[in-house]
Amino acid sequence: MTRAFPDIGKHNRRFFQALEKLTKNFPSLGILALLFFQALESRAADTRVWLPNYEEASAKAKTANRDLFVFIGGSDWSAASRAYKANVIASPQLAPALGGEFLWLELDHPELPTEAQKAAAKANKNFNVTIHNYPGVVLLDAEGRCYLKLEAPQGGVGELAAAVKAARALKARRDAALALADKANGLERARQLGAALDVLGPTCLQHGRQSHRKLLDELKKLDPNDTVGTQRRLTFNPDGFAEKDLWPLTGKKKFADAHKLVDKELADLRNNLWLRQHLMALKFFVFQQEEKLDDAVKQLQQLIALDRTSDMARQANAYIANITQPVTLTTNLWKPEHLRFYFAEWRLDAARQITGAGEYAIQFKHTDGDRITVRDVAVMNGSAQVVKAEMPKRSDILTLKVPAFAPGGKIWLKISAKGHGWFGSHGEILVSKK
């Protein structure tokens, strides 16, 4: 073994001399020892100093012109926080992996704080980045402006380092635009301020100190008609628009008015990709309320076509698969996992129940939880439809008059059924010949 062991004290020197002699005869043991000492050295290399509170950390960050890394957890109630801290935040590899000179701060939000923790919390009152899913990781620049917020992050040191790297790249683009804004006046300054804010998106206005908000206020004065479009992109809230204007219309079944309202917002040329996709999702929800499945799926397909790599596109693809793929019932029982927002196509083997021509009663016997709605039922012979009937209103039984059909094909029921509420419905499909 050619690598000398580190000098970690004379009390242990004899042990290491003996170990070194032993590894000459057993090379594999030397490899294990090397890995062990590499871990020791990397552990010793972790020289991070965690600041005691946000008040001190923010002041020091501004003075030193350094960014602030904030870990937010719940030590006495969040197992996820404890695990992420132990496996990622406390790792000596984290600081080198991030590749930046951060100041470090941990904010603990225990459910049952001690008196000391209550007193310390007063010095954190100006930290205004809200975390809903713990743990959280937040990056603030020297001015206290948030440029990254991660809630319930997944993965290890590598995944966190990648997220931080991407956020720092956005921050660099923001700073470049701000530098150009400092050299400009009038509408050109507005364009550069808009470019700086557009880089970070709505998050830059929701968290951190009011520095970003001050930039937006200046932008409004420079560009009162919002020709740059940044004001709309940062302040238009699709969820708020839906709650205030859209859902009252769909609640009254004024679907045409709801579509016109969304179409008007979609036509705004200042929309960015994020806004267009979210507005198209709202139009999809209007179709959903109308129970127009084909139109709803087409709307999602248009959303996906805007950017097939986006999170919205991935969610839309998953939703289309969920609502359009047939559901095979292995028994005559239905369960919550068989239900969809829309009318799902249920397929039930009926070879033993439908044996030939005649009248058959199909009953949907609800046994527990929310009720379901059945639109229609068809008897299928292979891929050919033998007969189909709509479900009578306010009834759970329909009658099918099955004509004679050629034997040999697979006989099955094709059922259009829709769940309600939280899809907690259980029931049984009873087939009997009259």
Residues 429 and 280 in one domain: no
Interval 86-131: pLDDT, tens? 999 999 999 999 987 899 999 999 999 888 888 888 899 989 888 8
Interval 383-428: pLDDT, tens? 999 999 999 998 999 999 999 998 778 999 999 998 876 568 999 9
**In this structure, what CATH number is given to the domain that contains residue 82?**
3.40.30.10
Residues 106 and 223 in one domain: yes
Residues 291 and 377 in one domain: no
In a domain, 312, yes or no: yes
In a domain, 214, yes or no: yes
Partners of 347 in the β-ladder = 328, 414
State the pLDDT at residue 37. Answer: 45
Residues near 380 by beta carbon (within 8 Å), at least 6 away in sequence = 386, 410, 411, 412, 413, 414
In a domain, 5, yes or no: no
**Cβ density class 230-250: b for 16+ within 10 Å, e for less:** bbbbbebebeebbeeebbebb
pLDDT: is 168 or 320 the higher one? 168
State the pLDDT at residue 5. Answer: 37
Residues near 77 by beta carbon (within 8 Å), at least 6 away in sequence = 110, 111
Mean per-residue pLDDT for 18-43?
Answer: 49
* CA separation for the pair 47, 36 (Å, rounded): 19
DSSP 322-386: HHHS-EEESSSEE-GGG--SS-EEEEEE-TTT--SSEEEEEEEEEEESS--EEEEEEEEETTEEE
Residues 142 and 266 in one domain: no
293-306 and 273-290 are packed helices; what angle lies between their axes, rounded to 10 degrees? 170
Residues 21 and 108 in one domain: no
In a domain, 2, yes or no: no
Lowest mean pLDDT among 19-33, 313-327, 344-358: 19-33
pLDDT above 60 (res 337): yes
Domain count, the chain: 4
Lowest mean pLDDT among 35-39, 121-125, 152-156: 35-39
Among 181, 214, 230, which residue terminates a domain? 230
pLDDT above 80 (res 59): yes
pLDDT: is 131 or 42 the higher one? 131
Interval 288-316: pLDDT, tens? 888 888 899 999 999 999 999 998 999 99
Among 324, 358, 381, which residue terminates a domain? 324
Identify the residue whose tokens are 């209007």. 286
Among 258, 293, 324, which residue terminates a domain? 324
Q: Percentage of the chain surpassing pLDDT 70? A: 88
Q: Percentage of the chain surpassing pLDDT 90? A: 69
Interval 252-270: pLDDT, tens? 999 999 999 999 999 999 9
Q: Are 369 and 411 in contact, with CB atoms under 8 Å apart?
A: no
Mean per-residue pLDDT for 344-357?
Answer: 94
Residues 17 and 131 in one domain: no
In a domain, 1, yes or no: no
How many other C-beta atoms lie within 10 A of the C-beta of residue 217?
10
pLDDT: is 220 or 289 the higher one? 220
pLDDT above 80 (res 6): no
State the pLDDT at residue 34. Answer: 45
In a domain, 126, yes or no: yes
State the pLDDT at residue 27. Answer: 56
In a domain, 194, yes or no: yes
Residue 324 pLDDT grade (very low, low, confident, very high; cuts 50, 70, 90): confident
Residues 315 and 332 in one domain: no
Identify the residue whose tokens are 């020709």. 227
Mean per-residue pLDDT for 326-333?
Answer: 95
Residue 39 pLDDT grade (very low, low, confident, very high; cuts 50, 70, 90): very low
pLDDT: is 340 or 188 the higher one? 188
State the pLDDT at residue 35. Answer: 44
State the pLDDT at residue 256. Answer: 97
Residues 23 and 64 in one domain: no
Classify the phi-psi angles of 150: left when phi > 0, otherwise alpha if psi is within -120 to 50, otherwise beta. Answer: beta
Q: Are 145 and 208 in contact, with CB atoms under 8 Å apart?
A: yes
Q: Are 377 and 398 in contact, with CB atoms under 8 Å apart?
A: yes
Mean per-residue pLDDT for 248-254?
Answer: 95
State the pLDDT at residue 208. Answer: 55
Residue 1 pLDDT grade (very low, low, confident, very high; cuts 50, 70, 90): very low
Residue 327 pLDDT grade (very low, low, confident, very high; cuts 50, 70, 90): very high
Mean per-residue pLDDT for 162-183?
Answer: 96
Q: How far is CA 178 from CA 194, 213, 223, 225, in A?
A: 9, 14, 16, 21
State the pLDDT at residue 210. Answer: 66
Residues 291 and 164 in one domain: no
* pLDDT, mean over the chain: 87
Strands 136-140 and 67-73: antiparallel
Residues 190 and 103 in one domain: yes
pLDDT: is 383 or 321 the higher one? 383
* CA separation for the pair 232, 397 (Å, rounded): 53
* CA separation for the pair 114, 103 (Å, rounded): 26
Residues 158 and 66 in one domain: yes
Residues 55 and 188 in one domain: yes
User: Which regions of 94-213 does DSSP assign to beta strands (E)?
Assistant: 102-108, 136-140, 146-151
Domain hosting 27: range is 10-44
State the pLDDT at residue 394. Answer: 87
**In this structure, what CATH number is given to the domain that contains residue 255?**
1.25.40.10
Interval 47-56: pLDDT, tens? 799 999 999 9
In a domain, 114, yes or no: yes
Lowest mean pLDDT among 28-32, 175-179, 216-220, 353-357: 28-32
Identify the residue whose tokens are 């006046």. 185
State the pLDDT at residue 399. Answer: 95
Q: Are 150 and 163 in contact, with CB atoms under 8 Å apart?
A: yes
Torsion sign (Cα): 330, 333, 336, 340: positive
